[in-house]
Amino acid sequence: MKRITAQVARVFLAGTGDDAGDCTNQATPCRSLQGAVTACPVNGEIIVLDNGGYGGATITKSLTVNASAGIVAFIARTITVNIASTDKVVLRGLSMNGVVFGDSNAIAFFGGGTLVVENSVLAGFSSGAGVHQAAPGSNLIVNNCEIRNNDTGVRNATGSDTNSNTVIENTRFEYNTSRGVVADFGTATISIRNCVLANTNSSAVTAFSASQTRPVLIVIDTCTIAHNGTGTDAETSGAGSATIRVTNSTIDHNVNGIGCRDRVVRQQSRNGKHELLNLQRNRRSAAIERRLR
């Protein structure tokens, strides 16, 4: 009888490794993230064993990259995720910093499918985003991350009529230059829950739509939005439709609390809750409920 050997689902990565070795053996791990991605089977897991710098990678299949608590998996280049609609990639426990090489984005998400980013730091990508979601019909989940000192924290910009979803929970956005979270130039639905968005030069949360067939909806729940140029900003051009809904949240000590521009724009406060707004450099808080139709 012919013996069939199952493909090993785990690949190991270490600062002392070698991409030419048998990366499925913990004693002979890969050295680079790209080497580990290449060696990893579909639906497999890359386990980071120790502190080190592992470089960027292009991921085109379902897999998980897992750096446990206490391990610094340092990445200074872009990770590109370009997967099919049925694929899922999980990136967990990464420390990404773009200052060294000046790449535009920490994570660039193309193709489709689902991308999950957990327990990670995305910082220093000053000309792009912590996560740039450009995949129509895709799903992005960001949980328990710190996203700071980028141009933009998370950007959903697919340029498509097909809706893409973004869910962000338990995450801090700080000192991003242009936006904390933005949806623009494509149909998008974004949910932001239990997050802090602070010290953004421009707007902490922006919804922009330039087409009736590309509406944008952002729902904010149980968040603190403070010390930004503008707290929430809904903008349109042409026949676009942009909506931001806020519940159970505090918007305080911003230059402008709520911004609305152009035509089909909605900023909504639900469930009888209130936002604390600082408008036009007034440092005195005023509790208001505001609904624009």
DSSP assignment, residue 42? T
Domain ranges of the chain: 76-288
Mean pLDDT of 79-83: 99
Pairing of β 286-288 and β 275-277: antiparallel
Give the H/E segment covering residue 37.
helix 33-39
What is the pLDDT of the chain when averaged over all its residues? 89
DSSP string for 153-203: EEEE---SSS-EEEEEES-EEES-SSEEEEE-SS-EEEEEES-EEE--SSE
The pLDDT value recorded for residue 243 is 93
- Taking 80 as the threshold, does the pLDDT of residue 167 lie above it? yes
Confidence of residue 7 (pLDDT cuts 50, 70, 90): low
For the stretch 194-227, pLDDT in tens is 999 999 999 999 999 999 999 999 999 999 999 9
Q: In this structure, are residues 287 and 274 in contact, taking their beta carbons and an 8 Å threshold?
A: yes
Among the ranges given (40-49, 81-90, 143-152, 260-269), the one the predictor scored with the smallest mean pLDDT: 260-269
- Residue 233 host element (H or E): strand 230-236
Q: What is the mean pLDDT of residues 9-37?
A: 97
Task: Please give the Cα distance from 140 to 191 (Å, whole number).
Answer: 10
Give the H or E element holding residue 33. Answer: helix 33-39
What local confidence, expressed as pLDDT, does residue 281 receive? 40
Q: Which one is the CATH code of 76-288: 2.160.20.10, 3.40.50.10110, 3.40.50.10490, 2.170.190.11?
A: 2.160.20.10
Rg of the chain over Cα atoms, rounded to whole angstroms, equals 21
Q: What's residue 211's pLDDT?
A: 92
Is the confidence at residue 82, as pLDDT, over 90? yes
**pLDDT computed for residue 266 by the predictor:** 54
Tell me the pTM: 0.89
> Distance between CA atoms of 46 and 214, rounded to whole angstroms?
37
On whether the CB atoms of residues 254 and 277 are closer than 8 A, the answer is yes
pLDDT, tens only, 254-278: 999 887 765 544 555 554 344 444 4
pLDDT score at 273:
42
Residue 283 pLDDT level (bands cut at 50, 70, 90): very low
